[in-house]
Amino acid sequence: MEIKALLKKLDKELLLLLKTLNDKEWSRKLSFKNITVKDAVINLLQEKIYAPPENNKLTGSEVIKRFDKQIDLDQKGLNSLDKEQLQIEYLKRWEKHQHIFYALNSQKLLGAKYYRPYLNILLKGLPAKYKYVEAGEGDVLKVEIVGEAGNVWNIKKENNRWMFCEDGAYKALIYIDQQIAWLLFAGLIDSLEASQYYQIHGDRALASMIF
């Protein structure tokens, strides 16, 4: 599915979730930000170029109405973005939505439909991230995200640069549970504190640079 269509579906999933909330859930704090669920959704509205000024005095039902109206308007704004910009937008929006889903104990965005595109976009940047990491010629890093949305990514140091390669012998291998992967990649938890959720085989220093 193209990213633009997926972005709309992502917003629709949030809208469906919001329609189920009671007052207590609207007031629930996000785990990694000192704001409520309602404040987080209002912030999403305020960042849209079509949205009028908002404030946290809006009721939950008013927030839902405005967010619903915003979804279609937002699609017009996406028409001016190229493929790379759409991918960056997806990364940002998925994380912002996931903060809300996470606070409400919903696993919806961690399914393959929405989470795998996030991981694919994010991890295609592995060669650039490892650009200045010291390694021997032919060394391979293997990254495996374990779970429904997971996949395997391999990069190899060749001709003084990192590039994606086929699966094979590795210098370092890291398994990361998908439940914790987004938290690690977004810098929301310390990699040492979350070490029970991933395993490293081979060159630990090389694998750890992913964080």
Q: Which two tokens stand for residue 62?
A: 């008013």
Query: Do 180 and 197 meet the contact criterion of CB atoms below 8 Å apart?
Result: yes
119-208, which class in CATH? Answer: alpha beta
pLDDT tens digits, one per residue of 18-69: 999 999 999 999 998 889 999 999 989 887 644 445 556 789 999 999 999 9
**pTM of the predicted model, to two decimals?**
0.90
3-state secondary structure 59-104: CHHHHHHHHHHHHHHHHHHHCCCCHHHHHHHHHHHHHHHHHHHHHC
**Residue ranges of the domains in the chain?**
3-110, 119-208
Q: Do the beta carbons of residue 6 and residue 90 sit within 8 Å? A: yes
